[in-house]
Amino acid sequence: MKTIGTLAASLLAGALALAAPASAQTWPEKPVRLVVAFAPGGLIDTFARTLQPRLVEGLGQPLIIENRGGAGGTLAESVVAKSAPDGYTVLVSADSPPANPHLFHNLNYDFFRDLAPVSMLARVPFALVVHPSVPANTLPELVAYVRSRQGQFSYASPGTGTGNHLFMELFKSLAGIEMTHVPYKGGGPAMSDLIGGQVQSSLISVTLAAPQVRSGKVRAVGVTSERRAAMLPQVPTFIEAGYRDFTAHTWCGLFVPAATPAALVQRLNAEFARAVRAPEVQTRFRELGAETVMNSPPEFATFLRAETDRLGALIRERKIASD
């Protein structure tokens, strides 16, 4: 015979089970907040604002973009991790979440426990670019040049722990070369100093690199995609240069608080997928050098686990610490 306590618990569980699908059917009934983990004007912010009109159309509610940049995306991650799991707060972040648990050891949330993946949105390959004064036109020539000047060659990144930094460290390890890392607060300042000759190279998104390559202000020696990048079709891939397993992208993905009902996660996945398929969105993403990649929550979760393991091993091996 059930006690009053166990009966109440059973009734509550049943009510919650019925409420989750019902809330998914009526959601959204108010504006949805999109928390972008980077400052306005950057690539991830541009992705979000490109999608915004189509999402508003599909949701039938306003979509409020809130930029929470700083600390490698951990500020935005913390905000969303502590938000109500009701589908009204969504995180848009880049490639930093898998590395952050290994770089920041006093986080007030657990990435895998407190956030749930919804989908990847898009990805953009990197280009390895050098100042025109560097006597190297190909990746093998650059490796030989750097090897002859071990420790006397520098590369810029948008900051310690960014994908640009970590994947450059991975390449250094594969190539058996040493370079001095010079971190900046963003890709723009890093590119400005590269053009000015204060640093000699940078692994930067093709979005940022392509205009400077076309103008002759920098030279591209390799791209990190599986195939040549549409924005830089004349530049060979790292794979073509002999680094068969080296591919890397900066990517944009969606997350919600971990306790968000599965029905709402699926609804968000479907709404973003519909927005991404819009012709004007596809055109704009191609202009940015981006490939759209909508996948399922389990597929995205598998990718994140593998990336966390890979980057964690690299961070430990190279003894990388956050600023």
CATH classification of the domain holding 201? 3.40.190.10
pLDDT at 23: 63
Is the dihedral angle over the CA atoms 136, 138, 139, 140 positive or is it negative?
negative
CA distance 304 to 322: 20
Question: Same domain, yes or no, for 269 and 291?
Answer: yes
Residue 171 resides in a domain: yes
* pLDDT higher than 90, residue 164: yes
Q: What is the mean pLDDT of residues 98-108?
A: 90
Three-state SS string over 84-96 comes to CCCCCEEEEECCC
Question: Same domain, yes or no, for 72 and 101?
Answer: yes
CA distance 98 to 311: 7
Question: Same domain, yes or no, for 65 and 97?
Answer: yes
Count of domains observed in the chain: 2
Q: What is the mean pLDDT of residues 4-12?
A: 47
Confirm if 76 and 111 have CB atoms less than 8 A apart. Answer: no
Question: Same domain, yes or no, for 119 and 132?
Answer: no
pLDDT at 14: 52
Q: What is the mean pLDDT of residues 143-153?
A: 92
**Minimum mean pLDDT range among 28-37, 151-160, 284-293:** 151-160
Residue 184: pLDDT band (50, 70, 90) is: confident
Residue 287 resides in a domain: yes
* pLDDT higher than 70, residue 12: no
Residue 133 resides in a domain: yes
Residue 190: pLDDT band (50, 70, 90) is: very high
Question: Same domain, yes or no, for 51 and 110?
Answer: yes
Give the phi and the psi of residue 155 in degrees, each rounded to 5.
Answer: -135, 145
pLDDT at 107: 92
pLDDT tens digits along 212-237: 999 999 999 999 999 999 999 999 99
Q: Which of 204, 223, 242 is the last residue of a domain?
A: 223
Helices assigned H by DSSP within the chain: 4-26, 43-59, 74-81, 100-103, 111-114, 139-147, 163-175, 187-196, 206-214, 262-277, 279-287, 297-318
* pLDDT higher than 50, residue 177: yes
We report the CATH number of the domain holding residue 57 as: 3.40.190.150
How many percent of the chain have pLDDT more than 90? 79
Question: Same domain, yes or no, for 71 and 115?
Answer: yes
Question: Same domain, yes or no, for 183 and 267?
Answer: no
Residue 14 resides in a domain: no
Residue 286 resides in a domain: yes
pLDDT tens digits along 92-101: 998 888 999 9
Question: Same domain, yes or no, for 136 and 76?
Answer: no
Q: Which of 208, 223, 238 is the last residue of a domain?
A: 223
Q: For the chain, give the mean pLDDT.
A: 91
Question: Same domain, yes or no, for 111 and 149?
Answer: no
Question: Same domain, yes or no, for 129 and 108?
Answer: no
Residue 241 resides in a domain: no
pLDDT top residue among 50 and 14: 50
Question: Same domain, yes or no, for 53 and 67?
Answer: yes
Residue 70 resides in a domain: yes
pLDDT tens digits along 27-55: 999 999 999 998 888 889 999 999 999 99
Q: Which of 182, 206, 223 is the last residue of a domain?
A: 223
**Minimum mean pLDDT range among 3-7, 124-128, 242-246, 252-256:** 3-7
Residue 21 resides in a domain: no
Which of 91, 110, 103 lies closest to 37, judged by CA? 91
Question: Same domain, yes or no, for 83 and 168?
Answer: no
Q: Token pair of 308, please?
A: 């966390």
pLDDT tens digits along 72-89: 889 999 999 999 999 999
Residues 6 or more apart whose CB falls under 8 angstroms from that of 216 comprise: 132
Q: Which domain holds residue 115?
A: 30-123+251-318
Q: What is the mean pLDDT of residues 52-78?
A: 93
